Amino acid sequence: MEAKRKQLIAWLKNAYGMEKSQIKMLDNFISDFEDDQDIKDKLVEHKSETEDQIDKLESCLDKFDESPSKIKEISGSMMGSFQGMSTSASDDKKIKDLLMIYAGENLEYGSYLSIKEAADELGEEEVSQIAGEIAEQEKSAAEWAEQQIPIVTSRQLAMA
């Protein structure tokens, strides 16, 4: 049981690092979509949602008398910076941004499904509920990004 508990805590810390890196990436994506108010507004909304998720993950870790790993937080922040920069110089950066959002949100969705299952097995109802809520938010964000990809692709092609 202790090994399962440690695994759940490690996954919560990983999720925390993942969400911290999302903040940096979302800032870059918001900047890239400065001229598209609808997409920008959705990204700003998701950034706020992500900040709330970070708070919820901290409360989950507090439940286990744990704190987020500074190494994961720093590496996550660096990864967010790198990912944001990787699309900034290209003509099709908005499409690449949406592809990264889509991939990232699906990764997060799967991660939270795993965390939820682990929490269920350990009888950690509060953690399970939080993971389930966040999973649904990530699934919704991935679906939104999927809907935007063809729209932004058409716009890009119209400008070519």
pTM: 0.87
pLDDT of 56 reads 98
pLDDT of 77 reads 47
CATH number for position 10: 1.20.1260.10
d(CA 36, CA 81): 22
Lookup: tokens for 155: 């716009």
pLDDT of 94 reads 95
- Residue 35 gets which letter from DSSP? T
pLDDT of 48 reads 98
Q: What are phi and psi of 33, to 5 degrees?
A: -105, 25
pLDDT of 13 reads 96
**In terms of residue numbers, what domain contains 132?**
2-159
**Per the structure, how many domains does the chain have?**
1
Lookup: tokens for 14: 């990983």
d(CA 99, CA 68): 28
**Could you list the pLDDT tens digit for every one of the 160 residues in the chain?**
899 999 999 999 999 999 999 999 999 999 999 999 999 999 999 999 999 999 999 999 999 999 986 655 555 544 444 444 444 456 799 999 999 999 999 999 999 999 999 999 999 999 999 999 999 999 999 999 999 999 999 999 998 8
Q: What DSSP string runs through 5-21?
A: HHHHHHHHHHHHHHHHH
Asked if 77 and 24 touch (Cβ cutoff 8 Å), the reply is: yes
